[in-house]
Structure 1
Amino acid sequence: MEVVVQKLTLRSWLFTFAFNTVMRIGFGKRCASEEDIGTEKGKQIIEEIREFLFATLVFLNMCDFLPVLKRFGYKGIEKEMDSAHKKRNVYLNSLLHEFQHNKGSISVSESSTDRNSEKKDTLVGTLLSLQESEPEFYTDDLIKSVILVLLIAGTETTSTTIQWAIRLLLAHPEPFHKLRAEIDSKVGNERLLNESDFTYLPYLHCVINEALRLYPPVPLLLPHYSLEDCTVGGYDVPKHTILMVNAWAIHRDPKLWDEPEKFKPERFEGMEGENEGFKYKFIPFGMGRRACPGAAMGIRTVSLVLGSLIQCFDWKSSEENYNMDECYDSKIASGKDKPLEVVCIPRNDRIQLLSQL
């Protein structure tokens, strides 16, 4: 088999993967078929969807901090958001109507290359079933809101985390080789890594945690809003105060972390068994009742993809030297970071494994 050496931009491939994964979970189909992925048609489909779903979400709206700017139409953000909202509504309506037409269940994919095409239950199909018994609660607007949250929260954050983990590993060869040795030792070269291997791959989990610590996909966690006057840590907080939690600053606080600016996955070895304080200094998914409900799924997805990429491919950045922090654009969901171009080469003894994908 001829080995093809490819130079690719990771962001677009990882976003396509993450978006297709969420679409399969939620709707039972891909947004782009296997035949279209990597082609100009596939790229156009993904970019159009990405534009109206995420374009206005990756920017901090200064009007939220200085409401007076709303009078002047600051940067036209609100106008952009209104336009994006209309496009999103059209897209979500089309998805919902397709499911309603198919009675809440559609084939896993329209692609003839799928391993099977039986009908399976989906998240949206379940919601539509509930709508039949409780139409007053499970309205179309509620279901569309659930769809939107699933698409936004489950795609950009996942693809960004994988990209940053690979960036960090390429910039730090020793952790890269340590992770590869762990995967080769525990999984081998006769099968692909799967979810049942995670228990035996603690260093993989450490690498992911360290990537989340240094470059959280949401540097400022979603805003909280006080319903009444309260006192927090000795500070009086009036009701209706908007609270922004700076995960970036907490994750790099030298009072909480030893050498916080350094990439040291080993710092997480055994750390999760510490006292409750660990939950307060490492908060990439938030905490408490408002923590990300998809955290477990996100970690499993990142672990499976990152582990498989390290298992099957040799990686090299197209840039010999680059400043990591200059690549990072700390927006509310950091999807505007500098794209990472890499050279991806299948490992000689893993080529047969790739046929299982």
Structure 2
Amino acid sequence: EAGISFAEVAHLIEESFVLHGAVSIGDYIPWLKRLDLQGYEKAMKEVQQKLNPYMQRIVEKHRENPQKAKEDMDFIDVLILQAEENGEAIPDKDTFIKAIAVNMFSAGSDTSSLSIEWALSLLMHHPNIMKKAQEELDSKIGQNRVVEESDIPQLKYLQAVVKETMRLFPAGPLLVPHKSINACTVGGFHIPAGTTLMVNAWAIQRDPRVWNQPLEFMPERFFEKNIEIDNIQSRGNEFEMIPFGAGRRGCPGASLAMCMVHITLARLLQSFDWFVPNGSVLNMEEGIGLTMPRAVPLEAIIKPRLPPRLYLNSPQ
């Protein structure tokens, strides 16, 4: 699309997360912000300029075939319809559509892939726990078919592994910035109107006053703590575990993200044994950014666990 590949788009979105999470001098000394001494603002504008033609072409292709949109409506078609129905309220329709689409794509791709990468890292670092997860898969699903999304509810240990991963390594360690509309007092602290607020989910989910052995990877703890983090009805009631935020400002894609992380991790564990290369100690250091990547990309040696026919005919 527009001279740029999907892989390049993914790289640009990854770059935008790094830039948004960078420490800017202007955030602490406001009058320096307009000088852009570190070049972050310039770099973010360059990312947007590269993404814009790609997204514009997608919007144009949907408009070129309105009949197809009626027969098989997708998310872009819905945005186009909403923009047209609210024409006066949305003067720059294309910018509105492209901004929403990029937000949805970026928020749902990087975070889910990071959660899967951290889950595999933790399991490779704790092979005994990986073995338990694979034994559950073998017991409930077997090795004669590929695990399906409908199987996830019966994979209780796998669910606990995912929750424990998100507790230790939330994809958004500080969630997303919020702003106080009015002045208020929280915990005895006065917060003026217009204050940018960050919630340290990483620290909350490692609080020793709430969690036993908080730095240890112990999926079994969730057999005792019945915490639902992807249920819209329960979010906001269990503040010890908030990888998706809480309340009305919680992540709207939490259920989809949990679904994708569970089924992807389940298939990776069912299909392969995972080993650290050369028997070395796995580096578990955290990187820096708006999200929380590994400091170094995960490297692994994999060994097939299933009959060859399942790899050839596995569902997409």
Secondary structure at the residue paired with 1:236? strand
Query: Which is bigger in relative contact order (C-alpha 8 A, separation at least 6)?
Result: 1
Residue aligning to 1:5 = none
SS at match of 2:275: strand
Q: Partner amino acid for 2:200? A: N
Change (3 A) 1:336 1:92: farther
List gaps (5 residues or longer) in structure 1: 1-30, 32-43, 107-118
Judging changes above 3 Å, is the alpha-carbon distance between structure 1 residues 61 and 217 closer, same or farther for their aligned structure 2 residues?
same
1:324: how far off? 4.4
Output aligned runs, 1:277-292, within 5 Å. 279-292=238-251
Measured after TM superposition, the shift of residue 100 of structure 1 is 1.1
Q: In structure 1, what is the equivalent of residue 277 of structure 2? A: 318
Q: What amino acid does structure 2 have at the position aligned with 1:225?
A: K
Q: CA shift at 1:137, angstroms?
A: 4.3
One-letter amino acid of the structure 2 residue matched with residue 352 of structure 1: R
Secondary structure at the aligned position of 1:75 is classed as coil
The Cα shift of 1:69 comes to 3.6
Which sits farther off after the overlay, 121-130 or 309-318? 121-130
How far apart are residue 229 of structure 1 and its match?
0.9
Report the TM-score, using the length of structure 1 for normalisation.
0.78
Partner residue of 2:258? 299
Q: Which moved more, 1:129-138 or 1:255-264?
A: 129-138
Does the C-alpha gap of structure 1 residues 72 and 240 become closer, same or farther in structure 2, counting only changes over 3 Å? same
Corresponding residue of 1:140 = 94
How large is the RMSD of aligned CA atoms in angstroms?
Answer: 2.4
- 1:126 CA displacement: 2.2
Instruction: Indicate the residue corresponding to 1:60 in structure 2.
Output: 22
Task: Report the equivalent of 1:94.
Answer: 57
Q: 1:104 to 1:195 in 2, by over 3 A?
A: farther
**Letter in structure 1 aligned against 2:310:** L
Report the alpha carbon displacement of residue 70 of structure 1 after superposing the two structures with TM.
1.7
For 2:37, which of 71, 74, 78 is the aligned residue? Answer: 74
Q: Deviations over 1:19-47 (max 9, x none)?
A: xxxxxxxxxxxx8xxxxxxxxxxxx9354
Post-superposition CA distance 1:105-152 (Å, at most 9, x none): 47xxxxxxxxxxxx7321112222334433334622221121011111
Could you list the per-position Cα deviations for residues 213-270 of structure 1 after superposition, in whole angstroms to 9, with x for gaps in the alignment?
1111111111110111111122211111111111111111111111111100111114
Consecutive unaligned residues of structure 2, counting only runs of 5 or more, are 229-233
Cα distance, 1:105–1:279 mapped onto 2, change above 3 Å: farther
Letter in 1 for 2:304: P
CA distance in 1: counterparts of 2:218 and 2:68, whole angstroms: 46
Q: Which amino acid aligns with 1:331?
A: G
- State the TM-score, normalized to the length of structure 2: 0.87
User: Are 1:218 and 1:332, in contact at CA under 8 Å, matched by a contact in 2?
Assistant: yes
Distance 2:154 2:188 in 1: 44
Q: How many residues align?
A: 301
Between 61-70 and 169-178, report the one with greater CA deviation: 61-70
Q: Give the distance between the partners of 1:221 and 1:65, measured in 2 at CA.
A: 20
- Residues 1:243 and 1:141: Cα distance change in structure 2 (over 3 Å): same
* Residue of structure 1 in register with 2:117 after alignment: 163
Partner secondary structure for residue 57 of structure 1: helix
